[in-house]
Structure 1
Amino acid sequence: MTDRLPQPLRSDAMDNRERVLASARALFAAEGLDVPMRKIARRAGVGPATLYRRFPTKQDLVTAAFAEQMRGCYTVVDEGLADPDPWRGFCLVIEKIFESQARDRGFTEAFMSAFPGALDFTADRAHALNSIAELARRAKDTGHLRADFVLDDLMLVIMANRGIRAKTTAAGVAASRRFAALAIQAFRASADREPLPPVGRWELVV
């Protein structure tokens, strides 16, 4: 037989991998995705060759580092979809996404990087956004979400929330919670509210 089963990592190699991932998560969260790979290796206490052996590209590293956060994103969206009140579920998704964004800049950049319409739009990102679009449709059907809402509107406020800078994480979370409340008020249907301008053919730069 010529085919071989994949060999498990040695304990020292596994330790190196976990240190690299922990360092990547911490630096991505604090500084975003532009952190140099060498800085991640230095913080993890490994050489660049060790890092690149496990993660040949930064995309490989980002994908591995944020696997847990992506599962958490699924959980939030699924929780919103499961709420018998679609508007309440829609608001919950906004509030939790904004708070997560305030706590971890890197994951937000990773999630937003291929939106909208990029050719490398991943299945994970597509699943999450399609689920949010379905939740928005349900919230519109109840009459609580404004009829002219489009998914790009949510992306715009997520991008705006990403611009919040605070001296501490707690202050950033507090500011994001307030901004989430303002966004939710803007999205709520109201008989006397002026309609939004037409949807343009813009390209969001993230």
Structure 2
Amino acid sequence: MTPPGTTAETPSRQLEPGLRADAGRNRDRILAAARRLYATEGLGVSMASVAREAGVGKATLSRRFATREDLITAVFADRMDAYATATTEALADPDPWHGFTRYIEAVCAMQAADRGFADVLTMTFPAAKALEARRTQSYDGFVELITRTQATGHLRDDFTPEDLVILLMANAGVIAATADDAPDAWRRLVGHILRAYATPGAPLPPMPEAPSHTALYRAMIRLARPAPQTP
């Protein structure tokens, strides 16, 4: 019998702050684990692997992030913000060609710093509305940047936004293949790509050094090994 003025729910109410704190800690552990795994292994990591890395059960992971897209959105929200900011900064540069080249270098560097983000920039996630909204914002800004840069005469007239997608796909592949043995190989790729985008006489940053033959050979050996199976 519950005394007047009280309810049977009082004990559970008293536990709620603790439960909320525990849920918050679990969420933080899941995000930290996902960031580590995505950064080093890419987005192919399974949800089960994330749960193990975080030290939580699959049910706990599912309560915090019902879908893979929900988890990816939460993990990469800050990086997508940085991606959008890079476009804004490029547009603010009084020299559009300089802004363009710096933008290409900055976005490719973001990919190199995080293999998971390298994957995010070459995929679409229709269910991840917030992430896709930031991508659209960046795309629209890049289209404007192209127009401004072509007006300077330094960017080829036949350059299109799709060329950036091709570059990001190529860069993601180079990063995945060489990150362990020649981590700066992507810079050489970007140097060549910028020279392909430029018109004759356009000012260009110095060409990055090529990776050593030994480093590339090690990367090729690693690529030939069977990929580990992720449950």
Q: Which band: TM-score by shorter chain?
A: 0.7 to 0.9
**Counterpart for residue 141 of structure 1:** 151
Structure 1 residue 98: Cα displacement: 1.0
1:22 aligns to 2:32 (yes or no): yes
Q: Which has the higher contact order (CA 8 A, sep 6+)?
A: 1
TM-score by length of 1: 0.81
2:53 is the alignment partner of 1:47? no
Q: In structure 2, what is the Cα distance between the partners aligned to 1:114 and 1:61?
A: 14
Asked if 1:67 corresponds to 2:77, the answer is yes
Correspondence 1:168 to 2:217 = no
Residues 66 and 107, structure 1, Cα contact 8 Å, conserved in 2:
yes
Contact 2:69 2:128 in 1 (8 A): no
- Rate the CA distance shift 1:74–1:167 in 2: closer, same or farther, 3 A: closer
C-alpha distance 119-166 of structure 1, shift in aligned 2 (>3 A): same
- CA distance in 2 between partners of 1:41 and 1:81 (Å): 41
| Deviation of 1:119 (Å) | 9.5
Q: Are residue 103 (structure 1) and residue 113 (structure 2) matched? A: yes
| Larger helix percent | 2
In terms of mean alpha carbon deviation, does 121-130 or 34-43 score higher? 121-130
- 8 Å Cα contact 2:100-2:145 kept in structure 1: yes
| CA-CA distance at 1:111 after TM superposition | 2.7
The structure with the larger Rg is: 2
Q: Is the 8 A contact 1:29 1:105 kept in 2?
A: yes
CA displacement 1:130-169 (0-9 Å, x = unmatched): 1111111100011110001011111111111111122538
How big is the alpha-carbon RMSD for the aligned residues of Structure 1 and Structure 2?
2.2
Whole-angstrom CA distance in 2 between matches of 1:34 and 1:54: 20
- Decide whether the 8 Å contact of 2:38 with 2:45 is kept in 1: yes
Confirm whether residue 179 of structure 1 aligns to residue 189 of structure 2. yes
Kindly indicate whether the alpha-carbon contact (under 8 Å) linking 1:146 and 1:190 is maintained by their aligned counterparts in 2: no
Matches within 5 A, 1:66-145: 66-114=76-124, 122-145=132-155
1:168-196 per-residue CA deviation (whole Å, 9 max, x = no partner) reads 38x32x111121111111100138xxxxx
Distance, in Å, in 2 between the alignment partners of 1:69 and 1:93 is 15
Q: Give the TM-score, by structure 2 length.
A: 0.73
The aligned amino acid for 1:148 is D
Change (3 A) 1:162 1:47: same
Report the Cα distance in structure 1 between the residues aligned to 2:60 and 2:159, rounded to whole angstroms: 47
CA 1:21–1:80: 2 relative to 1, 3 Å: same
Task: Please state if 1:31 is matched with 2:41.
Answer: yes
Aligned-pair identity in percent equals 45
Structure 1 counterpart of 2:229: none
Q: Which amino acid in 2 is paired with 1:51?
A: L
Alignment size in residue pairs: 181
Question: Which consecutive residues of structure 1, in runs of 5 or more, have no partner in the other structure?
Answer: 1-6, 192-206
- Asked whether the 8 Å contact 1:30–1:106 carries over to 2, the reply is yes
Query: Quick check: 2:143–2:161 contact (8 Å CA) kept in 1?
Result: yes
State the distance in 2 between where 1:129 and 1:137 align.
Answer: 13
CA 1:119/1:150 → structure 2, altered by over 3 Å: closer, same or farther?
farther
Q: Distance in 1 between matches of 2:37 and 2:146?
A: 33
* C-alpha distance in 2 between matches for 1:52 and 1:190: 54
